[in-house]
């Protein structure tokens, strides 16, 4: 039996399926859920990602838009950078993309400030790309 719903749906099991699970989530305020060891790759990317985002925002504010777009699309493959690239690809709007970059950088600052309040935690300024 096939049901029409904008695309073809079937009651048969598809030939290919994907399954996933969430093992680590870090929230904007720095709190997290799950296994922090699973998030190490993303956490290690943070200082580089913040530096790249700051650079891209400066390019957006001070250079022609085509230069911003070219630099964005050529930026290294890091999780946060790929999310920003995907926003640009979907919207094709540099202003929306720059707003996202600004929001991510504000969240990084909040996270840095929140983590600075944790007793005994020694975060170097390089950890957050400053």
Q: What is the mean pLDDT of residues 65-69?
A: 97
Cβ 128 vs Cβ 112: under 8 Å: yes
Q: What is the mean pLDDT of residues 62-90?
A: 96
- Which range (12-21, 35-44, 64-73) has the least confidence? 12-21
Instruction: Please check the confidence at residue 76 and state whether its pLDDT lies above 60.
Output: yes
CA-closest candidate to residue 100, choices 117, 79, 75, 83 = 83
Cβ 125 vs Cβ 81: under 8 Å: no
Quick one: which H or E segment has residue 52? helix 40-62
Quick one: which H or E segment has residue 9? strand 8-10
Cβ 45 vs Cβ 54: under 8 Å: no
The residue ranking higher by pLDDT, 5 or 31, is 31
d(CA 101, CA 23): 25
CA distances from 117 to 50, 85, 92, 121 (A): 21, 33, 39, 8
d(CA 30, CA 63): 33
So what's the pLDDT on residue 130? Answer: 41
Confidence of residue 39 (pLDDT cuts 50, 70, 90): confident
Quote the pTM value.
0.68
- Which range (16-30, 50-64, 82-96) has the least confidence? 16-30
So what's the pLDDT on residue 119? Answer: 64
So what's the pLDDT on residue 64? Answer: 97
Instruction: Please check the confidence at residue 10 and state whether its pLDDT lies above 70.
Output: no
Confidence of residue 32 (pLDDT cuts 50, 70, 90): confident
């Amino acid at each position: 039996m096939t049901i029409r719903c904008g695309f073809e749906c079937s009651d048969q099991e598809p030939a290919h399926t994907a399954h996933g699970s969430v093992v680590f989530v870090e929230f904007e305020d720095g709190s997290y859920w799950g296994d922090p060891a699973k998030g190490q790759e993303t956490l290690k990317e943070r200082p580089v990602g913040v530096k790249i985002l700051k650079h891209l925002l400066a390019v957006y504010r001070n250079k022609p838009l085509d230069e911003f777009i070219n630099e964005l699309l050529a930026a290294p493959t890091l999780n946060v950078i790929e999310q920003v690239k995907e926003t640009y690809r979907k919207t094709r709007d540099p202003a929306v993309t720059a707003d996202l970059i600004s929001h991510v950088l504000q969240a990084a600052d909040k996270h840095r400030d929140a983590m600075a309040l944790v007793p005994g935690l020694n975060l170097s300024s390089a950890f957050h790309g400053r």
